[in-house]
Structure 1
């Protein structure tokens, strides 16, 4: 009886893990010319980098990022969208909010959830943090 329970539990965990890792990344919005808000972002760094490498041309064409400065440097921040936009109540508990100046509405902040930073300099390879 316990053996069957353990086997079923392992099967359920494997199915859930396979489902979680197979969901496509959804780009919710791009803000301030350097921040991408996403849902379903890969957990593992190598999968995150692979997602960036396979989508960077589409992101450049659709959202015009990255936008290198005059020295060729840029940084792009991928943030989890979480439970959506919130308004900034300017209280101490709002310190973990990331607010976007390019939104003219009151609810223009998200809970900080940094997932990946992509950076580059003119004569250096891209870096991922």
Structure 2
């Protein structure tokens, strides 16, 4: 096998591993109808992220009571890459969780996915690479075209 073929095989194998590794939920923080979920090994593709949500939304509700809707039915769930773990606030613009009784209660702001329910768009998915999707009435995933 030549080096190019070996490189291609290793790259494909690594991509498959990235897509198939299980998502680890490190912590869930809740404030009103906003939920912050700290994760490791979140799916790398738009489809993988949306499919993971659709497959696991009932488990998230049972285990973590998210999403938690406002009285009008709206909610936001943001999935954050846990990265190198908790840090002190130190650096500008870290996301900190005041309910933790420690100085090491912040993460880098690296959102990987969010799910919102709003009046105008029903359920929308944001994947943070400039693409947004919505859940159609018949369960189809529809890409929202930018203006």
Cross-structure match for 1:69:
70
Superposition deviation, residue 10 in structure 1? 1.1
Instruction: Pick the structure with greater CA Rg.
Output: 1
Q: In 2, distance between residues paired with 1:123 and 1:68?
A: 16
**Do 1:32 and 1:100's aligned partners in 2 also have CA atoms closer than 8 Å?**
no
Please state if 1:115 is matched with 2:112.
yes
2:53 counterpart residue number? 52
Structure 1 unmatched runs, 5+: none
Q: RMSD of aligned C-alpha atoms?
A: 1.6
Query: What are the residue-to-residue correspondences of 1:1-129 with 2, within 5 Å?
Result: 4-33=2-31, 34-89=35-90, 94-121=91-118, 125-129=122-126
- Please state whether the residue corresponding to 2:27 is helix, strand or coil: strand
Contact 1:36/1:76, CA 8 A, preserved across alignment: yes
Whose helix fraction is larger, Structure 1's or Structure 2's? Answer: 1
Query: What 5-or-longer segments of structure 2 have no aligned partner?
Result: 127-147
CA positional deviation for 1:62: 0.9
Question: Which fold has the larger relative contact order, with Cα–Cα distance below 8 Å and residues 6 or more apart in sequence?
Answer: 1
4+ runs deviating over 3 angstroms: none
Number of equivalences? 123
Report deviation, 1:11.
1.2
- Find the residue that maps to 1:7 and give its secondary structure: helix
CA distance in 2, matches of 1:72, 1:123: 12
